[in-house]
């Protein structure tokens, strides 16, 4: 693997740690402000919405500039978002600004992979990339739990005595000041390292930035990828699982609190355990799965749906940890090759940046839809058991239907 790829992994690691810790800190800030429960899914929704609304533009923007420079600008926006929340901005607005940066970051980081590596190395590279990402999710989620823990509040008591009295914020206004400072440091490191990512040398034809023309072009590219047999299949699967996965992230936090009696900090640690399984699944997939046999993994989607209701039978933290590791392993072994297949088809049919923008649009539109449903369900006090069963049925039936469609398509093509 080239040096640029490893530097990208480091930037991705730090940026993902910061994003996941930011979500936990923002949730704690919402709770601290005594906002209604439905505000919590709004945090994730606001972080995600720019992936959808800016999708016609970020791919073109990513292909216009060197990818490292795009990543630098994206990380700067995340840095500003944390600073503004530290200054007292509403966490929902602050995390939306971070989402704007993340929306610009995604096409650049995935586009750089496809520009740097040949097609035969994409599954292996995605295994590394997703493994690093999931490690960062574990670290970031656990760090978020630490940053909102009573320990940090105790340490923060010493902050008003900073030398020379240069501290510009009222540390008594929130118990999360030290946590937000830690996020500033992480985002600052990611921003600094983005400066050292070298240009891959890939260049694409210039196109107009007129909004109407870009939207027309984007949706034409969207149709092209959906109509491709392998691209459409992988897009359908990843869109479904990203939407459900984003919502389950919040459901796990609620489940850990209601069923296991854990605090937000403890629930964050438990949630991070899921990523251990994802790493194992991603590593196995990178070694044993090629782009040719990715469609054969579809039954794993059904298995994933059937595992979710087992949460309701769990009564101890140890049992919960084992279940979440198993769920993560199945998800990692299934989703990572699907993502690699989608990237390969997208870069073949379009360009690196534009294909990732199309992918991000669909996957994050699925997340917005699911998070909106979850926010509405929370607002009407729908029981946790009903939510868990609903998402299980959704995944199982949807993946069964996709598998039947794939079998039928294969049969017709062989006839």
Q: Are 17 and 193 in contact (CB under 8 A)?
A: no
pLDDT at 171 over 60: no
Share of the chain above pLDDT 70, in %: 88
Q: What is the largest CA-CA distance in the chain?
A: 80
Give me the mean pLDDT over the 106-124 stretch.
Answer: 72
- According to DSSP H, which parts of 54-176 are helical? 55-64, 67-86, 91-116, 122-147, 150-156
**Token pair in block for residue 104:** 């610009």
Give me the mean pLDDT over the 277-302 stretch.
Answer: 80
pLDDT at 3 over 50: yes
Res 267: pLDDT: 83
Res 33: pLDDT: 87
CA-based nearest residue to 220, from 317, 357, 372: 357
For the stretch 315-335, what's the b/e string if a residue is b when 16 or more beta carbons lie within 10 angstroms of its beta carbon? eebeebbebbbbbbbbbbbbb
Torsion sign over Cα 169, 149, 76, 211:
negative
Res 164: pLDDT: 38
Q: Distance between alpha carbon 70 and the CA centroid of its chain, in Å? A: 18
Rounded distance, CA 233 to CA 203, Å?
A: 29
For the stretch 10-30, what's the b/e string if a residue is b when 16 or more beta carbons lie within 10 angstroms of its beta carbon? ebbbbbbbbbbbbbbbbbbbb
Rounded distance, CA 275 to CA 54, Å?
A: 29
Res 80: pLDDT: 92
Res 241: pLDDT: 82
* φ/ψ of residue 201, rounded to 5: 90, -10
pLDDT at 276 over 50: yes
pLDDT at 163 over 50: no
Tens digits of per-residue pLDDT, 190-209? 989 888 887 666 665 565 66
pLDDT at 162 over 50: no
Rounded distance, CA 188 to CA 186, Å?
A: 5
CA-based nearest residue to 274, from 135, 124, 126: 135
Give me the mean pLDDT over the 83-97 stretch.
Answer: 90
Tens digits of per-residue pLDDT, 17-48? 999 899 889 999 988 888 888 888 888 888 88
Mean pLDDT of the chain: 81
pLDDT at 152 over 90: no
Give me the mean pLDDT over the 2-14 stretch.
Answer: 83
Rounded distance, CA 113 to CA 120, Å?
A: 12
Res 269: pLDDT: 79
pLDDT at 285 over 50: yes
Give me the mean pLDDT over the 270-277 stretch.
Answer: 78
Rounded distance, CA 28 to CA 25, Å?
A: 5
Res 150: pLDDT: 80
CA-based nearest residue to 13, from 132, 127, 99, 125: 132
CA-based nearest residue to 6, from 79, 113, 162: 113
SS3 state of residue 90? coil
Sequence-separated (6 or more) residues with CB below 8 Å from residue 51? 99, 102, 103, 106, 360, 361, 363, 364, 367
User: 């923007």: which residue's tokens?
Assistant: 61
Q: Are 99 and 197 in contact (CB under 8 A)?
A: no
Rounded distance, CA 220 to CA 332, Å?
A: 31
pLDDT at 116 over 60: yes
Rounded distance, CA 36 to CA 265, Å?
A: 19
CA-based nearest residue to 263, from 28, 75, 44, 81: 28
Enumerate domains of the chain plus CATH numbers.
3-194+213-414 (1.20.1250.20)
Give me the mean pLDDT over the 85-102 stretch.
Answer: 89
CA-based nearest residue to 294, from 227, 231, 228: 231
**More confident: 82 or 153:** 82
Least confident of 198-212, 312-326, 378-392: 198-212
Least confident of 205-214, 225-234, 337-346: 205-214
Rounded distance, CA 375 to CA 263, Å?
A: 21
């Amino acid at each position: 693997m080239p040096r640029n790829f490893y530097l990208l992994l480091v930037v991705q690691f730090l940026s993902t740690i910061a994003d996941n810790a930011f979500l936990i800190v923002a949730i704690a800030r919402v709770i601290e402000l005594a906002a209604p429960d439905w505000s919590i899914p709004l945090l994730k929704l606001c972080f995600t919405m720019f992936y959808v609304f800016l999708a016609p533009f970020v791919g073109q923007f990513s292909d216009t500039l060197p990818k490292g420079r795009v990543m630098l600008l994206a990380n700067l926006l995340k840095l500003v978002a944390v600073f503004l929340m530290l200054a007292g901005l509403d966490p929902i607005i602050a995390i939306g600004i971070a989402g704007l940066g993340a929306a610009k970051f995604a096409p650049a980081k995935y586009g750089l992979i496809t520009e740097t590596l040949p097609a035969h190395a994409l599954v292996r590279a995605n295994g590394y990339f997703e493994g690093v990402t999931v490690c960062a999710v574990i670290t970031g989620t656990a760090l978020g739990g630490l940053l909102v823990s009573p320990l940090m509040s105790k340490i923060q008591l010493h902050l008003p005595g900073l030398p020379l009295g240069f501290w510009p914020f009222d540390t008594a206004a929130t118990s999360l000041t030290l946590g937000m400072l830690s996020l500033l440091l992480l985002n600052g490191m990611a921003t600094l390292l983005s400066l050292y990512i070298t240009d891959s040398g890939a260049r694409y034809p210039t196109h107009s930035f007129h909004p109407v023309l870009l939207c027309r072009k984007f949706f034409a590219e969207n149709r092209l990828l959906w109509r491709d047999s392998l691209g459409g299949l992988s897009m359908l699967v990843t869109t479904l699982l990203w939407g459900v996965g984003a919502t389950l992230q919040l459901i796990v936090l609620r489940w850990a609190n209601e069923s296991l009696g854990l605090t937000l900090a403890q629930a964050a640690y438990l949630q991070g355990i899921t990523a251990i399984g994802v790493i194992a699944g991603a590593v196995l997939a990178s070694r044993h799965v090629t782009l040719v046999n990715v469609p054969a993994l579809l039954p794993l989607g059904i298995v994933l749906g059937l595992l979710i209701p087992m949460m309701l039978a769990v009564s101890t933290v140890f049992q919960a940890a084992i279940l979440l590791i198993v769920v993560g392993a199945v998800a990692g072994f299934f989703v990572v090759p699907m993502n690699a297949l989608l990237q390969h088809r997208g870069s073949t049919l379009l360009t690196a940046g534009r294909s990732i923008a199309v992918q991000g649009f669909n996957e994050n539109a699925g997340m917005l839809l699911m998070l909106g449903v979850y926010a509405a369900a929370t607002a009407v006090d729908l029981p946790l058991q009903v939510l868990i069963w609903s998402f299980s049925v959704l995944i199982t039936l949807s993946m069964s239907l996709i598998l039947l469609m794939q079998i039928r398509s294969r049969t017709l093509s062989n006839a």
